[in-house]
Structure 1
Amino acid sequence: MDKTKIMFNVHVTPMPVVVGSTKLEVVDEYVYLRQIVRLGKSNFDREVNRRIELGWAAFGKLRHIFSSDIPQNLKTQLYNQCVLPVMTYGSETWSFTAGRMRKLKVAQQAMERAVLGVSLRDKLRNEYIRSRTRVTDIAQRISKLKWQWAGHIARRTDNRWGRKVLEWQPRTSRRSVGRPPTRWSDDLVRHAGS
């Protein structure tokens, strides 16, 4: 049975909480709706790493099919329908940096090499491997999911929290020193302009 947990933000000192006879475990992160939630911290790096691990787990369960003699187009369909959705679940809400996207692409390229049974020592270019596997590029899938979610938010006429969170401005007018962190909308502005 999963223990009951409680999270505190950085402004509160964690202290033991007892409800009835149950002592709540104090944690700094928690998996909720299959995504990592961390208060006061960016959870995107941890979530990308977690999604890569889950993608490899899904790939490993199907490894006997990927290494079999079935036609490549069936392996491609299996990858696109069973592994890629695991790796991109919830990605429409992430803010992406070049490093986060690179991690996902490297994991996908490693999986494609495993499907074909080639290694890095074979010195085959990624373009050649992609032309043989024909799997959906993870960056394109994430971009498509992000556009779909942006359209969904833009079409809303009610006053739900999704649009409020997107348009939220911090209370203070000052920001911390340095480059601001990448925001969710930065990807959309980069592709479509303001």
Structure 2
Amino acid sequence: MTYGSETWSLTMGLISMLRVTQRAMERAMLEISLRDKIRNVKIRRRTRVTDITQRVAKLKWQLAGHIVRRRDGRWGPKVLEWQPRTGKRSVGRPPTRRTDDLRRVAGSRWIQAAQNRGIWTPYKRPMSIG
């Protein structure tokens, strides 16, 4: 379910869909119907499965750190710093980029922080998604 999730732009709609799908899968594993009216907390306690949003966020942090630490001349780090669209902007809110949640949690200097693997471990960072 998380294949390729490192590259997704995590929007609230996507997070909601992932959570709904995970809950449906957990209910299917336990053979529980929605009509049984069992709370999600109890189901999660029985399955002991990690929340999908935390897993996706961890994978995203790991990939971002890996890309930033590369020094072999590939275009990955350049893409992270790329500013799209010049000229006239479209109406409405700009689309969410892959690095927006990294910048929100780690600050504007997240690329310098990711250079140090010791402080960039994703499981030690607060997961503020959703």
**TM-score, length basis structure 1:** 0.53
Q: After superposition, give the CA deviation of every residue in 1:4-42 in whole Å (9 maximum; x if it has no partner).
A: xxxxxxxxxxxxxxxxxxxxxxxxxxxxxxxxxxxxxxx
Pairing 1:1-194 to 2, within 5 Å after superposition: 87-170=1-84, 172-194=86-108
Count of residues paired in the alignment: 108
- Larger relative contact order, structure 1 or 2 (CA cutoff 8 Å, min sep 6): 2
| Percentage of identical aligned residues | 72
Q: After superposition, give the CA deviation of every residue in 1:71-93 in whole Å (9 maximum; x if it has no partner).
A: xxxxxxxxxxxxxxxx1111101
Rg bigger for which structure? 1
Residue type of the alignment partner of 1:175? R
Structure 1: segments with no counterpart, 5+ residues: 1-86
Report the Cα offset of residue 108 of structure 1: 0.7
Name the CA distance, whole Å, in 2 between partners of 1:128 and 1:170: 45
Name the one with the larger strand percent: 1
* Aligned CA distance change for structure 1 residues 171 and 127 (closer, same or farther; 3 Å): closer
Report the Cα offset of residue 189 of structure 1: 1.9
Q: After superposition, give the CA deviation of every residue in 1:83-135 in whole Å (9 maximum; x if it has no partner).
A: xxxx1111101101111111111011001011111111111111110011001
Residue type of the alignment partner of 1:112? E
Structure 2: segments with no counterpart, 5+ residues: 109-130
Aligned partner of residue 99 in structure 2, secondary structure: helix
**TM-score, length basis structure 2:** 0.77
Residue type of the alignment partner of 2:40? N
* Aligned CA distance change for structure 1 residues 114 and 171 (closer, same or farther; 3 Å): closer
